[in-house]
Structure 1
Amino acid sequence: MSMQDTLSPMAVPAPPAAPIRRQYPLLAIALAMAVFSAAIAFFANAFWLSALTSAMALSLSVAGVAVLYGQLGLVSLCQFALVGVGGWVTLRIGHAFQPPFEASLLAGGVVAALLGLVFGLPALRLRGLYLALVTLMLAGAFQIVISAWGFPDGGPGFLGRADGSGRAMLPRPALAAEAISYFLYTAAIATLGLMLVQAHKITRPGRAWALIRKGETVAISSGVNVLAYKAWAFALSGFLAGIAGGLLAGNVGQLEGRAFSAFESLNLFALATVGGAFHWYGAVIAGLLLRALPALLTDLGIDGYVTIGIFGVALFHALATAPSGIAGQIAVLLARFTRGGER
């Protein structure tokens, strides 16, 4: 037994067996997200629209975690740093050149994908606890850099700072300037991101990732380019995180470096586990836990830091009794209901 095998506390559960693992059609994702988004847009007030817009954006980042953890069994703890990268690039390009919002957003996603690929280089040789520690240190390094440098605030030029003259807000896209329309805009992009991930799972990349998860020797003997498909997964995960960061920047108009600490990357991964990394709607559940639950407590006059304890208990419960997360438990109930209906 190798030393890596002995360090197994970071071992991840295998994807759940059928029928829990049953793939959902892409059209079902679009329909479910459309119904959910329409209900929120109709009933939510301004406070909740802002919180749920952030939740929808972060669900993209959680979907990126699910690609690495759910498909490859890789524990990467720098995902929220990549959200910050996407937000930084979106803000910087938006302030400096004033292109259409979509161009700034796409640039943030591409840069985060490239950086995610760089962050994923250790995964070519490391797994388990070693990879988790390396990526956590990378998240800490980003926290130090961004705290010293600061986020763009509308100063002149690409790296300009608005020294005491007031911070400029990043304009939202022209077709989504209002709170409701921007929520629907974010939900639509989140839906496309979730469908993109699902499409990967049910096509060739998903089959390659499944073989790599079983064992790299098995994958190589089956003709899978292990390095290429691992790099693909990290680039996709980084791209989704970068898009999430750009959407967050558009939601509030500016971002703070304090919001992208290494702890937030840990929190994001923990809630990806709680929400469920093996089902597409697990990302939505995790996004709601990240933003909607603290907003609910704040609305009730309860300190939002209480969520740290709640998330800790939820993570313990997930690891001990429900490794497939809340989404996995929902899938089991749906499967039982379906079988009962067929009788």
Structure 2
Amino acid sequence: MQMTKSAKIGLLFALLAFTFLPVLAGGQWIKIFISTGCFILAASGVAFMYARLGMVSLGQVALMGIGGWVMLRMNHAFDLPFEINLAVAGAVTLVFGWLLAMPALKMRGLYLALITLMAAGGLEVIFSTYRFPNGGEGFWGVMPSVAAPFRRPLVATDDADYLRYIIFAIVVGFLIIELHMRAAPGRAWAMIRRSEAAAYASGVNVVYYKAWAFGLAGFLAGTSGGLLAGGLGLLDPATFRASESIMLFALMVVGGSRGWLGVVIAGVLYRVVPALFNDWTIDADIALVIFGAALLHAIITAPNGLSGQLIDLFGKVGKRT
């Protein structure tokens, strides 16, 4: 399989981040970059659904919460390796992605967005009511005292190595999406986006491939939620509010949905920009104003997002030189 120029640049970017970011970042910033990486991986799922199928899913952060819940419960209940717990978290969330797809398979646009948003709202209530496992007994695994320790991968016990682990996971997630794009699912999704009627007429199983897309997005969300649980050791229900799914989708539109760069921009805007404002003792809510202006800019002048504008800019500079 021939690698595109964009993929080569992405791998170089990932290699540089893998090598230097854990060294340059210190203290709390490593935690922030760990969180950023997890949301980049989650955003990749909602981005490919929007770019390849034209489907707006507003439940991705809530699905992250499911993956994080399963990861914490597995960690505290069983003495299993981190990777097995992470695979279970991704698989369970994949199933939830399929369940979320069932009432939405015949819908597009506003109605699909509303259904996924309502599901995210329901999960928000569950997370707020029952909270996340912290080593307690019973199904919910919640205890009022200090949380039990979380077991990280043997190769990534400290924060710096765990950040490298996250970067590797992002590359694998992007590779999974790219492999889908170049195989039968990618061709089917492209035809469905162009015309569902034409896809039916061509023998494409539209329901099957839509469910496949929801399952893949759910798997990526669950994996990112599990990785976030490993990075923080304990999760807060406020992280998985329905409004956060809307915010992540909006920033994905700002960054651009058709490549790895747009998803990275979305994750950085979502996590790093508010953290910078806090670090500068500026009210982080100002970031919402900036995000709103950026979204307006993207809708009016940048259909491919900021990443598309950056690629066009570098392309023009390259031609001049």
Does TM, scored on the shorter chain, surpass 0.5? yes
User: 1:297 deviation in Å?
Assistant: 0.9
Letter in 2 for 1:247: L
C-alpha separation between the residues in 2 aligned to 1:311 and 1:123? 29
User: 1:28 deviation in Å?
Assistant: 4.4
Letter in 1 for 2:190: A
TM value normalised by structure 2? 0.95
Q: Give yes or no for contact 1:26–1:198 (8 Å, CA) kept in 2.
A: no
Counterpart pick for 2:74 among 89, 93, 96: 93
**Which consecutive unaligned segments of at least 5 residues does structure 2 have?**
none
C-alpha separation between the residues in 1 aligned to 2:252 and 2:82? 28
Is it true that 1:73 corresponds to 2:54 in the alignment? yes
Counterpart pick for 2:213 among 226, 230, 233: 233
1:244 aligned residue? 224
C-alpha separation between the residues in 1 aligned to 2:51 and 2:288? 23
Question: What secondary structure is seen at the aligned counterpart in 1 of 2:275?
Answer: helix
Between stretches 215-224 and 109-118, larger displacement belongs to 215-224
Letter in 1 for 2:231: N
1:194 aligned residue? 174
1:83 aligned residue? 64
C-alpha separation between the residues in 1 aligned to 2:315 and 2:206? 34
User: 1:29 deviation in Å?
Assistant: 3.1
Q: How far does the alpha carbon of each residue in 1:298-322 deviate from its partner, in whole angstroms, 9 at most, with x for none?
A: 1111122221221111111111111
1:109 aligned residue? 90
2:14 aligned residue? 33
User: 1:158 deviation in Å?
Assistant: 4.3
C-alpha separation between the residues in 2 aligned to 1:169 and 1:340? 56
1:42 aligned residue? 23
C-alpha separation between the residues in 2 aligned to 1:56 and 1:166? 27
User: 1:203 deviation in Å?
Assistant: 2.6
Q: Give yes or no for contact 1:297–1:304 (8 Å, CA) kept in 2.
A: yes
Seen in structure 2, the aligned counterparts of structure 1 residues 230 and 201 have a Cα distance that, compared at 3 Å, is: same
Question: What secondary structure is seen at the aligned counterpart in 2 of 1:168?
Answer: coil
Seen in structure 2, the aligned counterparts of structure 1 residues 160 and 56 have a Cα distance that, compared at 3 Å, is: closer
Counterpart pick for 1:257 among 237, 247, 253: 237
Between stretches 75-84 and 34-43, larger displacement belongs to 34-43
C-alpha separation between the residues in 2 aligned to 1:313 and 1:49? 28
C-alpha separation between the residues in 2 aligned to 1:169 and 1:309? 38
Between stretches 62-71 and 118-127, larger displacement belongs to 118-127
Question: What secondary structure is seen at the aligned counterpart in 2 of 1:83?
Answer: helix
Is it true that 1:268 corresponds to 2:248 in the alignment? yes
Task: Please give the residue correspondences for 1:165-176 in structure 2 after superposition, counting only pairs within 5 Å.
Answer: 165-176=145-156
User: 1:27 deviation in Å?
Assistant: 4.9
Q: Give yes or no for contact 2:93–2:219 (8 Å, CA) kept in 1.
A: yes
Letter in 2 for 1:86: G
C-alpha separation between the residues in 1 aligned to 2:126 and 2:137? 21
Task: Please give the residue correspondences for 1:47-58 in structure 2 after superposition, counting only pairs within 5 Å.
Answer: 47-58=28-39
TM value normalised by structure 1? 0.89
User: 1:236 deviation in Å?
Assistant: 0.5
Question: What secondary structure is seen at the aligned counterpart in 2 of 1:155?
Answer: coil
Letter in 1 for 2:178: Q
Is it true that 1:185 corresponds to 2:177 in the alignment? no
Q: How well do the aligned residues superpose, as a CA RMSD in angstroms? A: 1.7
1:155 aligned residue? 136
C-alpha separation between the residues in 1 aligned to 2:199 and 2:167? 36
Residues matched between the structures, number: 319
Task: Please give the residue correspondences for 1:192-341 in structure 2 after superposition, counting only pairs within 5 Å.
Answer: 192-340=172-320
Letter in 2 for 1:326: L
Q: Give yes or no for contact 2:71–2:226 (8 Å, CA) kept in 1.
A: yes
